Structure 1
Amino acid sequence: MLPFMALLLAFALGFVSGLRAFTAPAALFLARGGIAGIVLAVLAVAELVGDKLPQMTSRTSPPALIARLISGGVVGWFIAAAHSGPAPVGAIIGVVGALVGAYGGKAARIAAIDRIGAIPAALIEDVIAIALAAFVVTR
């Protein structure tokens, strides 16, 4: 059985995956060190830039959602394994977090666009994703 804190961390990092597919794994692998973290960080920056482009597809379209679910599952798996728990449970919690992040983030962003505009809403979402990922991987 995973400790509650590990479940919470897996959910939170999965939530970040729902907001930005590459940010959560980039943060996790940067914290671990190595070339994988650098490669994922470059992909995360590209995603952050690409997200602002008008031709970007919705995060809930099948390819984007599948990428977010896989990302959430992977980070949840690693969080659970780091806490000596059953990795499949962590993966499931990460996927649930990614679903909440994808759909909740989309709803929040649409509401924010109506109030402050598209680019400020996207930038706020970026800050939330990066800050939450940094918070989780430093625990």
Structure 2
Amino acid sequence: MTHALVLLLALLIGVIAGLRAFTAPAVMAWAAFLDWINLSGTWASWVGHWATVTVLTVIAVAELISDQMEQTPSRKTAVQFVTRLVTGGFAGAVLGTAWGYPWSSLGMGIIGAVLGTIGGYEARTRLVRATGGRDLPIGVLEDVVAAVGGVAVAVLVSVL
């Protein structure tokens, strides 16, 4: 896979982290577990272990549920924003490691997380406003976009 394509996919998995912080690392863990990406002998080989996949999947599902609660803080608060940067960078680095581009992919994952965080906030805010303030359906829609988008990136990684 070319460096440019790896960077594009790292950017996209970062966008997913901006939408839902733990969906991106969970998707990369599943990709490694299913041997869609080869992390053998790398710093990230532990990501494909069944225990890692289980923990990240549980956290990702819990995040999907908690995001629908009114008391959940905005993704633009410092802790939420930094978490998305960290998980986006991590997921990007894991993806890039399979092709020997961990550092540049880490950077692209962080950039994608910024784009996904800010863009996701703006899109959700505007859609909620357009639907008369109904946040739950828009939040669920965003969950679906994040999950389907994450899986799409993983599938692309596996076939390219």
TM-score in terms of structure 2 length = 0.83
Displaced runs of 4 or more, over 6 A: none
Partner of 1:55: 71
Alignment-mate amino acid for residue 6 of structure 2: A
Alignment-mate amino acid for residue 124 of structure 1: L
* Deviations 1:67-97, CA, capped at 9 Å, x for gaps: 1000011011111111222x11111100000
**Is contact 1:30-1:38 (8 Å) kept?**
no
1:130 aligns with 2:144: no
- CA offset at residue 126 of structure 1? 0.6
- CA offset at residue 31 of structure 1? 2.0
1:14 aligns with 2:14: yes
1:40-79 paired onto structure 2 within 5 Å? 40-79=56-95
Q: How many Å separate the matches in 2 of 1:83 and 1:123?
A: 34
Partner of 2:37: none
TM-score in terms of structure 1 length = 0.95
Name the structure with the higher helix share: 1
Pairs aligned (count) = 137
- CA offset at residue 109 of structure 1? 0.1
Partner of 1:30: 30
Q: How many Å separate the matches in 2 of 1:36 and 1:6?
A: 23
Q: How many Å separate the matches in 2 of 1:21 and 1:31?
A: 17
Secondary structure of the residue aligned to 1:138 is helix
Q: How many Å separate the matches in 2 of 1:69 and 1:60?
A: 11
Q: CA RMSD in A?
A: 1.0
Partner of 2:43: none
